[in-house]
Structure 1
Amino acid sequence: MFLSDHFIHHTQNQTGSGTPNGEELPAWDLSDLYPSPDSPELKNDLEKAREKVETFAANWQGNLADASGQEIALAIELYQEVSEILGRIGSYAQLIFATDSTDAKNAQFYQYINEQITSISTKTLFFTLELNRISEDALNNKLSNEALLSWKPFLDTIRVFRPYQLSDEIEKVLHEKSVTGRAAWNRLYDETLAAMQVSVQEEKVSLGEALNKLSSGDRQVREHAAKGLGESFNSNLRLFSLITNTLAKDKHITDEWRKFPRVDSERNCDNMIEDEVVDALVNAVTQDYQRLSHRYFALKAKWLGLDKLQHWDRNAPLPDDNDQLIPWEQAKEIVHTAYNDFNPEMGGMIKEFLEKPWIDATLRPGKSSGAFAHPTVPQVHPYILLNYHGRNRDVMTLAHELGHGIHQLLAAKQGYIQSNTPLTLAETASVFGEMLTFQSLLQNQKTPEQRRIMLSRKVEDMLNTVVRQIAFYQFERKVHEARQTNELLPEQIGQFWMETQQASLGPAFEFTPVYASYWTYIPHFIHSPFYVYAYAFGDCLVNALYKVYQDGHDNFQEKYMEMLQAGGTKKHKELLAPFGLDASDPAFWRKGLDVISQFIDELEQA
């Protein structure tokens, strides 16, 4: 509730280090949250939260069962008020940490805030526990009150966990020990990755720079980068294996206490999605490996003139793809035009992000190597982090994260605790924004060869989002299920990784032994177990949704905006119904996967 799954230095200037061509890039200004880590405003908010929590607990602990619907509605409003104060503080600490997690002061501040928030929020734990102990009949009677009825989505979200709830004392222990348990291991992992230096042809580069070289048009550069990455991962393999083993066992112990039936059940509950829907998605993608990734990478091997692809060829550009550097200003124009052509209101929101210091795209040591949009709190605005190298994929990443930003802005009207969208739906606006940008660029390609290059880029991005993420999910299941009985050796984890990667990527690839350690740099495995299938869910959903848009569905833009504005107040069935879509229908996933297959069909005929 108080700290999100996004991991996020503090900078007041609005420009930072540039792209490889020397262009200046934006850096965010976090003063909309707080002026500085030691500011009176932040200290006052911490104190205010402590005072409010004390009063809240004194007034409501032990009294919810007998409270009226009107009284419970008032209590939820107060709970949201405290949650939002802590959410603002926590967001600020996360964003500072993500900008440079190698800075000891940033790490110290991040840990301090984590500990303070955990200490304060422990005193509100009783609230959701007591709400869940109210019987269904009693709660239904209370929901006859209109004020409480407006909070039903929040109540539905917490009551999904009702069957798995423990005693107040155990819940309190689990919550308080998280700062020295899971959160501490997460921090160790983040700091290790951020400090990592990779040797590439006698040059020391950051992890992000080395990963970027895997998209180089020079095969020798890709190979040297891949081997350097493998050496760096292997030098930390025992540590990463210990972190993984510890967190998987920690999760297993908690899952057993709660009596979750499957290793992914907690995530599925959190996503408000049924186990059967997840299984339908995973099965549909797995059954389509041959039709999708196997078929595409056989084509790619032919285009590259190779009998076999190595793992460092997966993201290689095609021979005719010069992938020229795209200046930041041009990237901004590309993405803004795509959104604005679809919906001018969205175009206006994109313009605000691009003109204000809400984006950090700079390349700097110690910065988080990924990309995210952090929603902060409804009273402020989201912040976006990416590392802009000037490549086509970076433009798509900008489009992706801006989609998240729009979604978060539109959902903010639902309030802090009901604006948060389940992960499966949180990827909708981001992937849809990518598709808008792709289609806009595709229409502007002047030759068949340019179109083929654009299509191949898109197919690879879709395979990375769908096939690769489902393979990640299957890897996680193998690790978590095996860890229930024994600690796993690094070699065992590596074997699970190689098995799932070979199955998903197909016979066009051969994998050198060094690839067995490449699971170590995927942060979702550490921070958010089973997060990954949400990407595949979102991509397939958007493919089906975009087909509805292309077919001229009535009032599509209006319905789409309403879907984003709903935030976490509706489940996937309710959100998709206006478009005639149903994720529980196996045919739904086929529609999404068919879009990828049709792109590959066109590439085969080119």
Structure 2
Amino acid sequence: MRFDREIARDTTLTATKTDFGDLPDWDLTDLYPAPDAPELRADLKALEEKAASFAADYEGKLATLDAPAMLEAIRRYEAIDTLAGRIMSYAGLRYYQNTMDPARAKQMSDLQAQITDMTTPLVFFSLEFNRIPDDTYQAVFTAPDGPARYRPVFDRMRAMRPYQLSDELEKFLHDNSVVGAAAWNRLFDETMAGLEFDVDGETMQLEAVLTLLTDHDRAKREAAARALAEVFQKNVKLFARVHNTLAKEKAVEDKWRKMPSPQHGRHLSNHVEPEVVEALRNAVTAAYPRISHRYYALKARWLGLDKLQVWDRNAPLPTETPKTVGWDEAKATVLDAYAGFSPKLAELAEPFFNLGWIDAAVKPGKAPGAFAHPTVTTVHPYVMLNYLGKPRDVMTLAHELGHGVHQRLAAAQGELLASTPLTLAETASVFGEMLTFRKLLAETTDPAQKKALLAGKVEDMINTVVRQISFYDFEVRLHAARAEGELTPDDINAIWMDVARESLGPAFEYMPGYETFWSYVPHFVHSPFYVYAYAFGDGLVNALYAAYEAQPEGFQQKYFDMLAAGGSKHHKELLAPFGLDASDPAFWDKGLSMIEGFIDELEAMED
């Protein structure tokens, strides 16, 4: 079965020539042919008309709609959402290809402002919907000819009822967003993309410097770390201003909404109970001595050091042979690993390589990091990488393709139901990494290579679980401190160092300047409290993989069904077929025990 048009490399697609092969560039024409395309102008006009007519037809009337009329209203709302999402996906992806291009930045900003204005008449929808009496809501959403399939979306919406403001205030916040958080986000992105780092006389951008932190040459790692510290220190006042402003803006809105905590809104949007997140956080922090502290003490012995420096945290093992992985090899590795689980999984991933759905090369002005953008359910996702041929880049490819596959499968749910809560959004990505790792481990016979591979996986898991929960703690403490008043850069630095010492343990000492490394983490700016989703996803996948190993028969179909559900089910429903329950505190210990087991294997190799 094919999920797209015939998969064949289009000769019109472009690629960037690198030392690692010809790396694919995005082909954004599936969204719009060009930034000045008549199709884009037509969609903007249609969006304005559809939003205005929707408001004229339904404002003040939602509570009077019967089941079929409510279904029609929701479908119209979904179509508007899809149209706006398509426009902003195109503008956003073009911008992330080159954040230093003024024309791209202007187009994204202008379109964001236009769409905000056009969709202001729709603000009534969620506000009015949440005022529908419970009895009416129940009757409409259980009727056989009504919108029953959309109920999970609106149950989540109605969970916001206790925190809803007046219509006028909600419209004000909607209009003001473009000069509030969105503007500070853009300032952060453009500043970060424009930073230049002098590493031993060579001028580099952030992504390339961060990659040097995994270099075999310790002197290069140290030079990279010191270059990062120097530039972050020079810009720390600006980054402190960004964090102060965003934290205060959030505090003001939370105060008006009467949110019980700064992170509560994230839990609501994730459709996860605060106590589940707290159980995860407590399980991980309690495991710091058994996992990160123990592993880093082991690593210090491998490196022959009394103390690790920050530039040793992700250093390769001394016995590990430096390796550059070409793009074709990376592609084959991941697709083979996916196919080993299920041919369908590889088939879902293959078009990303052949149809211009991946932008892989490091380029001037390109946003750092990696992501999979779902765009809208009527198109397809796009994956962004900054591929530099490192073995970890192969795992990043496996990770982002997992997101892409998940997004493709969930697209059948439609725009409103496809979006997966952040707590489950990392499931397919981390599972894709695990499949790739397990395949490589099974094929490795050399003891030194096996040890290096296993150590690399432990470090990835520590970065995903321990580091992300420490990031979550950092955010919790930062927002709590900000509630007491303006934070100086030194205040934020101190919070960062407290969390670092707790999570990394006594094996480390810290160079001057490391205290500013909080400043480059984009999640703190773009998605407050997002980071626990990574740890949630890793723990969930570890438990899922254990279930797969214990009973592989029929697992694949249950797995695809879970991904295809998108946001249509609660995590309890999605995990029930596997016999798992994230609300059980012991659930998280299962995931953590897998990491401990890998460390046990590494310690046994010492004997």
Give the TM-score, by structure 1 length. Answer: 0.97
Q: Which structure 2 residues correspond to residues 447-466 of structure 1 after superposition, within 5 A?
A: 447-466=446-465
In the TM superposition, structure 1's runs of 4+ consecutive aligned residues that sit over 6 Å from their partners are none
Map of 1:134 onto structure 2: 132
Instruction: Indicate which of 111, 114, 123 corresponds to 2:109.
Output: 111
The residue matched to 1:17 in structure 2 has which SS? strand
Amino acid at match of 1:592: G
Segment drifting more, 350-359 vs 582-591: 350-359
TM-fit CA distance, 1:18: 3.9
Amino acid at match of 1:222: R
Q: Which structure 2 residues correspond to residues 71-150 of structure 1 after superposition, within 5 A?
A: 71-146=69-144, 147-150=146-149
Amino acid at match of 1:77: R
Map of 1:9 onto structure 2: none
Q: Which structure 2 residues correspond to residues 241-252 of structure 1 after superposition, within 5 A?
A: 241-252=240-251
Q: 1:559 & 1:231 partners in 2: Cα distance?
A: 50
Q: 2:330 & 2:237 partners in 1: Cα distance?
A: 41
Amino acid at match of 2:13: Q
Q: 1:153 & 1:274 partners in 2: Cα distance?
A: 15
The residue matched to 1:507 in structure 2 has which SS? coil
Residue pair 2:21, 2:328 contacting (<8 A) in 1 also? no
Residue pair 2:24, 2:353 contacting (<8 A) in 1 also? no
Map of 2:68 onto structure 1: 70
Residue pair 2:320, 2:452 contacting (<8 A) in 1 also? yes
* Structure 1 residues 396-430: Cα deviation after superposition (integer angstroms, max 9, x where no partner): 00000000000000000000111000000000000
TM-fit CA distance, 1:69: 1.8
Map of 2:351 onto structure 1: 352
The residue matched to 2:387 in structure 1 has which SS? coil
The residue matched to 1:509 in structure 2 has which SS? coil
Map of 1:297 onto structure 2: 296
Q: Which structure 2 residues correspond to residues 391-410 of structure 1 after superposition, within 5 A?
A: 391-410=390-409
TM-fit CA distance, 1:356: 1.5
Q: 2:241 & 2:283 partners in 1: Cα distance?
A: 33
Amino acid at match of 1:491: D
Q: 1:69 & 1:182 partners in 2: Cα distance?
A: 37
What's the C-alpha RMSD, in Å, of the aligned pairs? 1.0
The residue matched to 2:378 in structure 1 has which SS? coil
Q: 1:560 & 1:49 partners in 2: Cα distance?
A: 36
Map of 2:6 onto structure 1: none
Q: 2:251 & 2:298 partners in 1: Cα distance?
A: 42
Map of 1:552 onto structure 2: 551
Residue pair 2:27, 2:356 contacting (<8 A) in 1 also? yes
Q: 2:164 & 2:20 partners in 1: Cα distance?
A: 54
Q: Is 1:24–2:35 an aligned residue pair?
A: no
Residue pair 2:309, 2:511 contacting (<8 A) in 1 also? yes
TM-fit CA distance, 1:113: 1.1
TM-fit CA distance, 1:558: 0.6
Map of 2:232 onto structure 1: 233
Residue pair 2:270, 2:423 contacting (<8 A) in 1 also? yes
* Structure 1 residues 451-474: Cα deviation after superposition (integer angstroms, max 9, x where no partner): 111100000000000000000000
Residue pair 2:20, 2:389 contacting (<8 A) in 1 also? no
* Structure 1 residues 22-54: Cα deviation after superposition (integer angstroms, max 9, x where no partner): 522111110000011111000100000000111
The residue matched to 1:418 in structure 2 has which SS? helix
Q: 1:144 & 1:349 partners in 2: Cα distance?
A: 34
Count of residues in correspondence between the two structures: 594
Amino acid at match of 2:84: L
Map of 2:157 onto structure 1: 158
Q: 2:150 & 2:183 partners in 1: Cα distance?
A: 34
Map of 1:174 onto structure 2: 173
Amino acid at match of 2:564: Q
Segment drifting more, 381-390 vs 158-167: 158-167
Unaligned runs of 5+ in 1: 1-11
TM-fit CA distance, 1:321: 1.2
TM-fit CA distance, 1:350: 1.4
Map of 1:267 onto structure 2: 266
Amino acid at match of 2:87: I
Q: Is 1:415–2:419 an aligned residue pair?
A: no
Q: 1:74 & 1:401 partners in 2: Cα distance?
A: 35
Q: 2:292 & 2:17 partners in 1: Cα distance?
A: 35
Q: Is 1:445–2:444 an aligned residue pair?
A: yes
* Structure 1 residues 558-606: Cα deviation after superposition (integer angstroms, max 9, x where no partner): 1000000000000100000000000000010000000000000000010
TM-fit CA distance, 1:449: 1.4
Q: 1:45 & 1:77 partners in 2: Cα distance?
A: 18
Map of 2:489 onto structure 1: 490
TM-fit CA distance, 1:341: 1.1
Identity percentage of aligned residues: 53
Q: 2:281 & 2:491 partners in 1: Cα distance?
A: 23
TM-fit CA distance, 1:553: 4.5
TM-fit CA distance, 1:479: 0.6
Residue pair 1:401, 1:430 contacting (<8 A) in 2 also? yes
The residue matched to 1:73 in structure 2 has which SS? helix
Residue pair 1:289, 1:467 contacting (<8 A) in 2 also? yes
Residue pair 2:454, 2:602 contacting (<8 A) in 1 also? yes
Q: Is 1:199–2:198 an aligned residue pair?
A: yes
Q: Is 1:517–2:504 an aligned residue pair?
A: no
Q: 1:199 & 1:502 partners in 2: Cα distance?
A: 28
Residue pair 1:13, 1:28 contacting (<8 A) in 2 also? no
Unaligned runs of 5+ in 2: 1-10
Residue pair 1:15, 1:24 contacting (<8 A) in 2 also? no
